[in-house]
Amino acid sequence: MNEMTNNEATRRTPRLSLIVVAIAAALAMGGTAATAQAQDAATATDTSKARTLEAVTVTGSRIRRKDEVAASPVFTMERSEIEATGVISVGELLQQLPSVGSSFNSTGSAGTSHGSRSLNLRNLGANRSLVLVNGRRWVNGAGTRGFRDFVDLNTIPLAAVERVEVLLDGATAIYGADAIAGVVNIITYSEFDGFQATAYTGITSHGDGFTHNEDALWGKSGDWGSALVSATVSRNNQILAGDRDFSRVPLQGLSRNTPAGRFKNSTPVGGFGTKAFVPDGNGGFRLDNPATDVYNDTPDTTLTGPLDLAGVYGQLRFHLSDHVTFVTEGLYNTRESSQRFPAATPRIRGGDGMTIPADHPYNPFGVDFRGSGTSFEAVRMITELGPRINTQDVDTMRVAAGLEGAFTNSWTWNTFYTYAQNKAKWTSANQIDLDKVALALGPNARCAANNCVPLNIFGEITPEMANYIRATGVDHNGTKQHDFTANLTGDLFKLPAGDLAFAAGVEYRKESGYDRPSAYFNEKPQFITYDRKTTSAPRLPTSGSYNLKEAYVEFSVPLLANLPMARQLELSAATRYSDYNTFGTTTNSKLGLVWRPWDDLMVRTTWAQGFRAPSINELYAGLRQTNLPAIDPCNGGGAGKPGCAGVPTSYNQANYSGGSILSTVGGNPELRPETSVNRSTGFIYTPGFAKGLTWSVDWYDIDLKEAISSFGSQNLLNLCANSGQRCNLIRRDTTGEIINLTDGPINLNRLRAKGVDSTLRYQLPELAMGNVALMFNAAYLESFDRYDTLPSGQVRVMKRAGKSDIARESFPRWKANTSVDWSRASWSANWSMHYIGSTYEGPAPARGRIPAQLTHDVWAAYALRSQPLTFTLGVQNLFDKDPPLSYVNGGDLNFDMSTYNPRGRFIYLKATLSL
């Protein structure tokens, strides 16, 4: 498969558009729809917008309330605030929140996102952050080398979202497993009358990264109920690393794998000794110079990947009677994404059974090269194949139906069943078939018998040669979810301070996943002794499932009311019983207390137990080989470090693998569940002297036991080198090169995170200059400690707050967003700032302290009075700030791709039609 051009990628969009139009029409005609039921359509406790509401359910509680009191901190973004961000996806929206740590996005070829977006609340990992839509679980993602154990936010349609609520507290007792770091509840419109269409297009000031997004929303409501359909088509063009100055040349050094190649033999040949030599450009050869015989393979790799999204979402709510409503919803979403990597470098070694006979038509030396007697090695990046390209095609389908209603005593109930699945095809193109390389370099008679094309590894590689050794593989993977819930809530009886409220429910859930890797890539080689047939890493297939049955009960107990220093004192309590077919039973509880000494101030505190069972991926993922980013501490022999004994002083990792280590990873069926204790304390202040002002501050402490994580490639290397422990997981050859590192999920004992979140909102009194609203949202990471139990029994504590000295893990102490909204008559405008604090990445050759980054976004909009049209012109990253450079965390792209946006200044225009 040849390289996919930009034009070819662009041609996908019309096909996606047709899919969306067809499905939208079918939904509109057939009435398939989705609900945004009032259950879990919560109101944030820290919002400054006063509302007059009937009983609603606050996110973090199943009890319907007539006020906005909640013991747990909830941050809310209304539709107007979502529009003000200028983003076009749920993932991009949520990843801007200060409480979100390093997350998968579309940045980089080696970022392992593969077109998906994740949510990493509190830096505790995407699989510890629960994602709900209208209070119900969403299916896990697919489309990487295997399936995911977290939700891909790109599968959720932003066009139908009315608001987003982020519960920054543990909620296992309320919603079940995975809600350790917090819960995001994405709430769609429940009623929408009219039609709205939006066209969005943008491009960077560098002239690349072209983006367009078109969406439409139609809804109708009446005495019979309501119906809604939304459809979206979106396209993001790629940006390559060579298109930006900061990523054009890797800080970690240029690759020793060059298109010219280098060659060495264990015995003198061609007038050279055993040292490596390279073509001299004149038909001869010369000795290799490690300082100058290098190659920059970064410019043609992905900085931000191309992404096509298309989807349709529908909802229908039909009143069967005055007290019972039928609810159904449906979604179909399709995604196409790809990433470019440097061209493949085949492993050509005599020790692996490769041979080059003396009479080979492209052997310029006339000498037999083989593993026995002579041992040779040829290292050449075969750019004639083009860059390696990974492509993902992912389809998401979700259907659901249920009933909700109310009894005459005001108690309410609901039942709901959901079936959802993700199906993905992964295509890996422009790899190399090593068996065919062996045939093309080997004995002439064997080559002829297998109809092979002889390969000129020492000179010009023709298109025919490249096409013969080219390898393309296709994987298939996916996830499925069955979920049934039933809930009941109401007031049990009156107490002196108010009604004793109650909620209870049951849930049955089954999760399953499968991964069928390419049979071609998994074939055993026939003509070599190396353990893989192609340059793509083989892996074993994965399949697994689990199910669980759960029941919960929740109470809200008013203790005091309307007393001096006790306008309100309320206790909340919940407990949840879970029965897993894989791990048995567990019970987790939560307590909360709300105290309002006077009307302007509310103090809240919670204590919650958390639980997360190992995912299918963590338990059963088939073993696979990969390249993990790490710097070998034994370079140059390791300077006497105990774990570097026997490593030659001549060894330099850059000569072999640059900044990555060949590794084996996979599942661990011996894993135990994680447990946690979450504590939070905070207040909400709404001063009477400043109407429209709300200020909330919440402190949290999350203590996670039996935390499941890989030890980490860099951690393993450092531990072995400095202490001699876990060196059995690292294999080296006689040159010192690491030929395999084994790293998989284990129960690492403990993680503990502490910090403070603060949100301030102020809707100023109406001014002659217009309406002005201010918002400030900040997160401070006090500490993030990882406790690892070593084989000796010693516990090592890694203090991560304020650091970024491990690849793909940045922990800035401060993150904040600030915005100012202004509107007057037909005009409106917004100015926003995004702050990411500084971090420390370690001593030389790292940069030491990575500086803080502050970026600015602005937009202005004008609504035509004569037509229902609004035009918006916006600029993101107004001053074109580059991400701060990082040697350790940046890999070949020189920056932390999980934290910073490398796109630069981005200018967009949006038009919205509302009827």
**pTM: predicted TM-score of the whole model, two decimal places:** 0.86
Asked if pLDDT for residue 285 goes beyond 80, the answer is yes
Asked if pLDDT for residue 191 goes beyond 70, the answer is yes
The pLDDT of residue 193: 94
Residues in the chain: 915
Asked if pLDDT for residue 684 goes beyond 90, the answer is yes
Mean pLDDT of 845-857: 90
pLDDT in tens, 574-596: 999 999 998 899 999 999 999 99
Among 58-62, 129-133, 178-182, name the one with the lowest average pLDDT.
Answer: 58-62
Mean pLDDT of 92-115: 84
Q: Band the pLDDT of 110: cuts 50, 70, 90.
A: low
- Distance separating alpha carbons of residues 609 and 677, to the nearest angstrom: 5
The pLDDT of residue 34: 33
CA angle 27, 28, 32 (to 5 degrees): 40
Residue 362, token pair as written in the block: 């492209």
Asked if pLDDT for residue 129 goes beyond 50, the answer is yes
Contact status, residue 200 vs residue 910, Cβ threshold 8 Å: yes
Mean pLDDT of 59-82: 79
The pLDDT of residue 167: 93
Contact status, residue 272 vs residue 285, Cβ threshold 8 Å: yes
Residue 13 or 762, more confident: 762
Highest mean pLDDT among 14-18, 37-41, 439-443: 439-443
The pLDDT of residue 248: 95
Asked if pLDDT for residue 709 goes beyond 90, the answer is no
Q: Band the pLDDT of 132: cuts 50, 70, 90.
A: very high
pLDDT in tens, 451-478: 999 999 999 999 999 999 999 999 999 9
Beta strands in 66-179 (DSSP E): 74-78, 129-133, 136-137, 161-167
Highest mean pLDDT among 29-43, 184-198, 722-736: 184-198
Among 52-61, 171-180, 332-341, 352-361, name the one with the lowest average pLDDT.
Answer: 52-61
pLDDT in tens, 814-836: 999 999 999 999 999 999 999 99
Mean pLDDT of 772-776: 96
Q: For the residues of 322-367, what is the DSSP string, one character each?
A: SSEEEEEEEEEEEEEEEEEEPPP---EEGGGT--B-TT-TT-TT--
Contact status, residue 173 vs residue 47, Cβ threshold 8 Å: no
pLDDT in tens, 472-520: 999 999 999 999 999 999 999 999 999 999 999 999 999 999 999 999 9
Question: What residue type is assigned to position 339 of the chain?
Answer: Q
Q: Band the pLDDT of 653: cuts 50, 70, 90.
A: confident
Residue 136 or 790, more confident: 136
pLDDT above 70: percentage of residues in the chain? 91
Helix (H) or strand (E) holding 720: helix 713-723
Number of H helices, E strands in the chain: 11, 45
Q: What is the residue-averaged pLDDT of the chain? A: 88
Q: Band the pLDDT of 652: cuts 50, 70, 90.
A: confident
- Distance separating alpha carbons of residues 632 and 642, to the nearest angstrom: 14
The pLDDT of residue 100: 94
Question: Distance of CA 187 to CAs 58, 157, 418, Å?
Answer: 12, 11, 16
Contact status, residue 735 vs residue 776, Cβ threshold 8 Å: no
C-alpha neighbours within 13 Å on the C-beta side of residue 903: 27
pLDDT in tens, 215-226: 999 999 999 999
Asked if pLDDT for residue 26 goes beyond 70, the answer is no
The pLDDT of residue 205: 97
Asked if pLDDT for residue 42 goes beyond 60, the answer is no
User: What is the spatial order of strands in the sheet that 161-167 belongs to?
Assistant: 74-78, 161-167, 182-188, 129-133, 136-137
Q: Band the pLDDT of 608: cuts 50, 70, 90.
A: very high
The pLDDT of residue 313: 97
pLDDT in tens, 526-570: 999 888 899 998 888 888 899 999 999 999 999 999 999 999 999
Among 64-73, 224-233, 429-438, name the one with the lowest average pLDDT.
Answer: 64-73
The pLDDT of residue 793: 67
